[in-house]
Chain A
C-alpha cells in the first residue's frame, strides 16, 4: 500500500507533467486553477495521467464534477445557499470545505481543487482497489 507521501510525490510529478509547473510550486495547499494556472482542458489531461500513473479508473465527473452550479435554486446573490454547500460537499467529498463555507462565493468553487484534494482522492481509490 502506497503511503500518503508516496502518493503526494506521484501526484506532484503528474501535475508537473500536465501543467508544466516546477516541482516546488506543487505544494499540498496549492490550488489547481489559481496557483498552478490549470485551465479546464487540463483537467482532462490530469484525469488521463492519474489513471495511467496510479492504475485507477476515474469515472466521468467523479474527481471534477460537472455542472456544479447549474441548479439556480442552490445559488443566491452569487453565493451558494446552505443547501448548495451541502450538495457541493456531497459531490466533492475529497475537498476541504472549511474555508470555502465561510465565504461560499460561486467564483471560489475552483479553489476547492487543490493538490491535497487529488492526494485524498487517489488514496481512497487505491484503498478500495
Chain B
C-alpha cells in the first residue's frame, strides 16, 4: 500500500490555499476492515489526507527546503461519515506561516462542497535542520518523490489543459 491519502490537487495557491480530492473505493483494503459490511473511511486517514494537503502547501511555500512534520492537531470535529463510493474534498487554508512552522485550517466535504464532514486545525513544525540531519541525514524524508508526485500530476494536468487541442 502507498501512503498517499489524496488523489489529486484541484486548486493550489502557493502559501495560501489548496484543495485536494480523495476518492474512496472498495479497492482499498482498509475499508473492508473498517468496518466489515460498513466501509467507512477512518477519521484518522481523513486527517492524514488533510495533513498531506497542508504539508505540501506549507512545504512548497519554502521550496521544500524545510522538513515539515505534523506537530499537533488542536481541533478535529467530525459531523458524519464517508463511505466507499464517496468523494472527499479537502480545503486547506494557511492561517500562519513562520520560520518555526505553520498552522492550517482544514475542512473536509463529502460529495461536493455542500456537506461539511470535518473541521480540523493542524500545526506543522519545521524540523531544526541541524538536528534533523543528525537524526535522519540530509535527505528530505517528508517530501518523498511519491508524495510530491501528486503536485506534479496537478501541474501536468493543468499544462495539458492549457494547451490548445490539435
Contacts and interface: CB of A to CB of B under 8 A. Distances in A.
Interface of A: 17-18, 20, 41-42, 44-45, 47-48, 51-52, 60
B72 A41 contact: yes
B31 interface: no
Contacts, number: 32
A52 B95 CA distance: 9
Contacts of B71: 41, 44-45
27 contacts: A17-B75, A18-B74, A41-B71, A41-B72, A41-B123, A42-B72, A44-B71, A44-B72, A44-B101, A44-B123, A44-B125, A45-B71, A45-B72, A45-B74, A45-B103, A45-B123, A47-B100, A48-B96, A48-B98, A48-B103, A48-B123, A51-B96, A52-B95, A52-B96, A60-B98, A60-B99, A60-B100
Contacts of A47: 100
B85 to A, nearest CB: 35
A42 B103 CA distance: 12
Interface in B86-114: 95-96, 98-101, 103
Contacts of A52: 95-96
B57 to A, nearest CB: 16
Contacts of A51: 96
Q: How large is the interface on B (under 10, 10 to 19, 20 to 34, 35 or more residues)?
A: 10 to 19
B129 to A, nearest CB: 14
Contacts of B72: 41-42, 44-45
A62 to B, nearest CB: 12
B141 to A, nearest CB: 19
Contacts of B123: 41, 44-45, 48
B74 A17 contact: yes
A44 B74 CA distance: 12
Given A41-B125, A42-B72, A48 B99 contact: no
Given A17-B74, A18-B74, A44 B95 contact: no
A50 to B, nearest CB: 11
Contacts of A18: 74
B107 to A, nearest CB: 18
Contact of B100 (A17, A20, A42, A44): A44
Contacts of A20: 74
Nearest to B98: A60
Interface in B119-144: 123, 125
Contacts of A41: 71-72, 123, 125
Interface in B14-68: none
A54 to B, nearest CB: 13
A125 B99 CA distance: 20
Contacts of B125: 41, 44
A51 B97 CA distance: 12
